[in-house]
Amino acid sequence: MIYSDKVMDHFANPRNVGTLPDADGVGQVGNPVCGDMMTFYIKVKEDRLSEIKFQTFGCGAAIAVSSMVTGMALGKTLEEAMAITNEKVAEELGGLPKNKMHCSNLGADALHEAIKDYRHKSAPGARDAVSAAPAQAHDEHDEACCCPYCEGPLEGMEEVCSCSHCDIDFIECPACGKYTNKAEATCVACGAKIVK
């Protein structure tokens, strides 16, 4: 697996690491399959990201992506920051290996979640509102039909599906029922051996 010089630089010298205890918005995303977890903290001033920090638990690519996303977003308007995509992040890093593209998706998603959190908190009446809605129950069927790398929707026939984001073909695991990388010998979700 070969990483660009930019990826290695952001991994070895990550920018904007840490937390913001008085953050205006916090966004957290994770991929339980690969174990990557990202939390972004933002401060907003006059509709711009005046400060941004991150904490990432994951591989070198995940750390590099988090660092790059904070650099791309700092000083931008909220709308400009919401326009940051996984493709733009990967491009700024000089490319990522195909099996690490999900990391760039997580970085952009964590930033977007922090902005959504800020907007929710700053909406008129948000501070006085009390959320009475219970957390939505997790739908196992939905999870089974999601890409295990980026959690995007899988498209195609029932036997073989593919993720348009990762460009990987998946088959249904006979052990857990979730879709797993067709090229792998074991299920990426449960570790069961895949008989081909």
Distance CA 151, CA 105 (A): 10
In a domain, 26, yes or no: yes
Active-site annotation holds for 34: yes
- For residue 108, the enclosing domain spans 5-122
Question: How many domains is the chain built from?
Answer: 2
So what's the pLDDT on residue 17?
A: 93
Handedness of CA 79, 151, 139, 158 (dihedral sign): positive
What DSSP assignment string belongs to 76-117? -BHHHHHT--HHHHHHHTT---GGGHHHHHHHHHHHHHHHHH
Q: Are residues 10 and 53 in the same domain?
A: yes
User: Which residue among 34, 147, 150, 161 is the active-site one?
Assistant: 34
Q: Between 4 and 143, where is the model more confident?
A: 4
Q: What is the CATH number of the domain that holds 113?
A: 3.90.1010.10
CA distance linking residue 56 with residue 169, whole number of Å: 28
Q: Looking at 103, 163, 173, 187, which residue is catalytic?
A: 103
* Spatial separation of the C-alpha atoms in residues 160 and 138, rounded to whole Å: 24
Q: Say which amino acid occupies 89.
A: V
Query: What per-residue confidence (pLDDT) applies to 107?
Result: 84
- Tens of pLDDT, residue by residue over 39-76, are 999 999 999 999 999 998 887 888 888 999 999 999 99
Q: Is 103 a catalytic residue?
A: yes
Residue 187 included in any domain:
no
Q: What is the pTM of this model?
A: 0.61
154 and 104 in a single domain? The answer is no
